[in-house]
Structure 1
Amino acid sequence: MPEEIIDLNSIVSGRQPINSSETPKEVTFDRVHSILYGNSSTKLIYDNAQKYFTKKFDQTYPHTSLQRDLFISIIQKVHPSLKVQFVVEIGSFTGNSASIMGKVLKESYPGSFLLCIDTWLGDLAMWINKAVWEHLSVSEDGRPTVYYQFLTNIIKQNLTTMVLPASMTSIIGARFLQTYRFYPQVIYLDSAHEQGETLIELSLYWNLLRPGGILFGDDWGWSSVRCDLKKFSYMKNLTIEQAGNTWILKKPVN
């Protein structure tokens, strides 16, 4: 089997990582906000959260496996040589898991923050299962408005300086991190779960993960997720840990 499913360097062919000759700097909320949206002290991304769609706090979306104690136990698996400072979530939806992680980081890891990468357009199951479809909050012109629900939920929990959304696909998100040499210590993968797509995401984000870090995700119960995880772990000679519906991969230090 090939050593790599997908190579980040080949994806950014013709481009060089910014400051590629420098040692990666600490990734902060303000720094990433400035790159994506401008100076956070002048105009915070959350300032216009209610401008187009008015939402009330709502965390009734039922399909969130991540719980506080589980996240604490997972983050403690990070190698002692690493300072837990930058966490990435791929697939955030209404922000239930982001809220859990954001609160833990705020309480126990000063200076850390969570970057949430999602299109906020939903996956296939959300478009064909009408009970879940309701949480997409599709407007009259056919566009999901769940992104604004995410913003509202983060605001209501006072996490607006800890949690930052990046509305992009998982692949573009990986390219963004690679371009700026932003390498997380912890990554939570909970996106579309399509077979093949999950394998690509695993490869991309594993390459971005700092040695000694943790890549974990939701929905071990999905056959598509298990299939791609088993392929990836075989290729990398990794052991998959399980905690209920959550899977966990540790990246060796060397």
Structure 2
Amino acid sequence: MPDSLAVSLPAPIAIMSFNRPGMLERVLASLKAQTLPVAEQRVHLFQDAARNRSGGMTRATEDEIAACISVFRRHFPDGVVHEAPHNLGIALNFDRAERFFFETLNAELGIFFEDDMVLSPHYLDALEKLSAFALAEERVGYVAAYGQHHASPEEHGRLRRRIMPMGHNWGFALTRRQWKRQREIVEGYLHFVRDCEYRYRPHEEIRAYFARFGVTTTQTSQDTAKEIASAVLGTARLMCFPAYGSYIGDVGEHYTPALYKALDFGRTVLFEHAPDGFDFPTTQELTTMIEATRAQLSDPARSNGVKVTSERLPADLFVDTLYRGLLDRQPDLAGFHSFTDALEKKALQPVDVVRSIVGSAEFSRSYAQRSPSGRTAGRQPSEEKPHTMARELQQRLFGEDIYAGFAPTLRKDLQGWNSHHPALTREITARRPRIVIDVGVWKGASTIHMAKHMQALGLDGAVIAVDTFLGSPEHWNRDRPDRIFEDLGLKHGWPSLYWQFLSNVVAEGVSDLVLPVPQTSENAAVILQRLGLRAGMVHIDAAHEYEPVLRDARMYWDLLEPGGLLIGDDHPWPGVARAARDFAAEVGQPLRVEEPKWMIEKA
């Protein structure tokens, strides 16, 4: 690895600014105070505008824009100001900065700061060392030096050489190599924000776009798009552990001083010592980091839950429910993550979140409109649920809404194996099936994963989950060292898997799509045949032995529509591999294997 950054510095430095001249002042003062000299000509202010394309005002005033430019010119009189012709929003403002650095200046590396992070005098020194590694290592695209904001000075000192995955896109350096290779994915995202104000971007369409890459997320920000691009491309985003930057955005659209304090940003203690080098990851360690990031995006870590009366709800479900119930809308990205982060860290209690929303001006307006005097004449307080395919199938199968009156009785437990394989979401995205049948579901991890992907794509469909919910012979082996027997949750000798499955489905918000059929795979196939159902995709994972796997493949092949796909799991098991091979020969179709999944398409 190079010892210096002569190859990349003086790299151009972008300051992304909108309407906070006071914060910008602090950021620029800290940039001027760096131990590494900063050539003023290399510092560029990318100033967004107050008026939108049609001439209307945004959240900024002309005076605030002028004040930001004045502050910049006072600190960097020889710096370069790039005024936006109209309000671009953060995504397009970043896009023009990146294009200028990497296309116009042809820089190998660009450095990007926003107007809400004060830098330690050693920030650029640390970023130099990190950037040298990024330029030398093909698989590293982003680096930053803001570190762990909540760690103590003692921890910073003890772990001063540690490298870890980068979180927020704050104060980062980006290589031109990474910018070029992620362009196609990022450009696809920018398509959604070019013709609207960024805050009014089409969230559902963006989520559906992200789902095409196997990522189901509530987030729709430009930072998320770039994080997904890095993961898809197999590249890393790294930062150092010691904090060389302090986030100061305590006032903004989604932050209040109280919330900022609750999230511990105000307690950041900058590491005082200059970096003396970092222990950069080996090739294998880098691979592990990249794979872990991919896995996290495919199956994001969930909250342990928020205690509400005697029950616990996932923090994300709790916040989402509050927004929809109190404000009659889905949560915005920043508010959603501010509240869920605070709840998970126990910095806020549920009642604090409720008070914050109820105390907002938006709630006052919404409440006034929804009060009896403000309602539109003839509007009913409760409306009938819309007709969907899943509800129609519920009536045909059960004659009732099986979720009516059900409250989760068990804490969410999405234990599973191979449940988030990329083939599942990739094939759903490509085929857009209305009916998916999942045979052998255990606690529902694969069922829920596919249902959430269909939900993100806006598909009116259903995932039919077939299982006895009694466990398999492997689960009933009390001698297994992994104690899988205990996961049956026996009560008076009867497994609790069905109630665990229903609790998981409701907790994950996909009860409108998921229909459990508590039957053997043979009985369920007969029942579904009798209803005349045809599926666009079938996933079989009920057995590991040759005969039952072959039997399931034959039965559910008959339930597949032409052009549908049969996907099986556990191909490394000898009995499964043999059954897959024999069945492919039997139907005269090619067998495709993506371990541990195997696939046969119906002509």
Residue 150 of structure 1: aligned partner: 501
Report the equivalent of 1:138: 490
Question: CA offset at residue 37 of structure 1?
Answer: 2.3
Matched, 1:57 2:444: no
Cα separation, partners in 2 of 1:124 and 1:68, compared to 1, 3 Å? closer
* Alpha-carbon separation, structure 2, partners of 1:67 and 1:204: 25
Give the letter aligned to residue 197 of structure 1: P
Pair 1:177 & 2:528 matched: yes
**Conserved 8 A contact 1:68-1:100:** no
How many residue pairs end up in the alignment? Answer: 213
Q: Please state if 1:84 is matched with 2:442.
A: no
Match of residue 116, structure 1, among 438, 441, 465: 465
One-letter identity of the residue aligned with 1:198: V
Segment drifting more, 225-234 vs 126-135: 126-135
User: How do 1:180-199 residues align onto structure 2 when only pairs under 5 Å count?
Assistant: 180-199=531-550
Q: Closer, same or farther in 2 for the Cα pair 1:223/1:68, shift >3 Å?
A: closer
Check conservation: 2:428, 2:454, Cα contact below 8 A.
Answer: no
**CA–CA separation in structure 1 for the residues paired with 2:404 and 2:576:** 33
Structure 1 residue 234 and structure 2 residue 592: aligned?
no
Q: 1:38 aligned to 2:387?
A: no
Which residue of the partner structure matches residue 28 of structure 1?
Answer: 389
How far the C-alpha of 1:87 sits from its partner, in A, is 0.7
**2:422 matches 1:69:** yes
Radius of gyration: which is bigger?
2
Q: Distance in 1 between matches of 2:537 and 2:564?
A: 6
The answer as to whether partners of 1:187 and 1:205 remain within 8 angstroms in 2 is yes
Q: 2:553 matched to which residue of 1? A: 202
- Is the 1:46–1:151 contact (alpha carbons within 8 Å) kept by the matching residues of 2? no
Q: 1:73 to 1:93 in 2, by over 3 A?
A: same
> Residue 222 in 1 paired to residue 573 in 2?
yes
Matched residue SS, 2:530? helix
Distance 1:29 1:217, change over 3 A: same
Q: Secondary structure at the match of 1:70?
A: helix
* Separation (CA, whole Å) in 2 of partners of 1:77 and 1:187: 15
| 1:76 CA displacement | 4.4
The question of whether the paired residues in 2 share the 8 Å contact of 1:37 and 1:45 is answered with no
When the two structures are superposed, what TM-score results if normalisation uses the length of structure 1?
A: 0.79
C-alpha deviation, 1:65, in angstroms = 0.7
Report the Cα offset of residue 91 of structure 1. Answer: 0.8
What residue identity is the alignment partner of 2:448?
S
Shift of 1:209: 0.3
Unaligned 5+ residue runs, structure 2?
1-387
When residues 66 and 98 of structure 1 are mapped into structure 2, their CA distance, relative to the original with a 3 A threshold, is same
Shift of 1:235: 1.2
RMSD of aligned Cα (Å)? 1.8
Aligned-partner residue type, residue 488 of structure 2: L
Partner residue, 1:94: 443
Structure 1 alignment gaps of length 5 or more: 1-26
Provide the C-alpha distance between the structure 2 equivalents of 1:132 and 1:144, rounded to a whole number of angstroms: 12
TM-score w.r.t. the length of structure 2 is: 0.34
Q: Following TM superposition, by how much is the alpha carbon of 1:68 offset from its aligned partner in structure 2, in angstroms? A: 6.0
User: Which shows bigger deviation, 215-224 or 190-199?
Assistant: 190-199
Provide the rounded CA distance (Å) in 1 between the counterparts of 2:576 and 2:394.
31
- Distance in structure 1 (CA, Å) of the matches to 2:419 and 2:599: 12
Percent sequence identity over aligned pairs: 26
Letter in 1 for 2:391: D
**Cα distance, 1:67 vs structure 2:** 1.5
Q: Report the counterpart of residue 125 of structure 1 in structure 2.
A: 474
Say if 1:29 and 1:161, in contact at 8 Å, map to a contact too. Answer: yes
Of structures 1 and 2, the one scoring higher in RCO (CA 8 A, sep 6+) is 1
- Tell me if the contact between 1:178 and 1:208 (Cα under 8 Å) persists in the aligned partners: yes
Distance 1:68 1:196, change over 3 A: closer
Query: Is residue 594 of structure 2 the alignment partner of residue 243 of structure 1?
Result: yes
Please tell me the residue identity of whatever aligns with 2:519: M
**Is this contact kept in 1: 2:435–2:461, CA < 8 A?**
yes
Structure 2 residue identity aligned to 1:244: E
Q: Is the 8 A contact 1:189 1:217 kept in 2?
A: yes
Of the candidates 434, 439, 456, which is equivalent to residue 107 of structure 1? 456
- Sort the Cα spacing of 1:89 and 1:178 in 2 relative to 1 into closer, same or farther, 3 A: same
How far is the alpha carbon of 1:136 from its aligned partner?
1.1
Once the 2 structures are TM-superposed, how far is the Cα of residue 165 of structure 1 from its aligned partner?
Answer: 0.6
**Deviation (angstroms), 1:75:** 2.5
Q: After TM superposition, where is structure 1 displaced by more than 4 Å over at least 4 residues in a row?
A: none
* SS of residue matched to 1:89: strand
Taking a change above 3 Å as real, the CA distance of residues 214 and 226 of structure 1, as seen in their structure-2 partners, is same
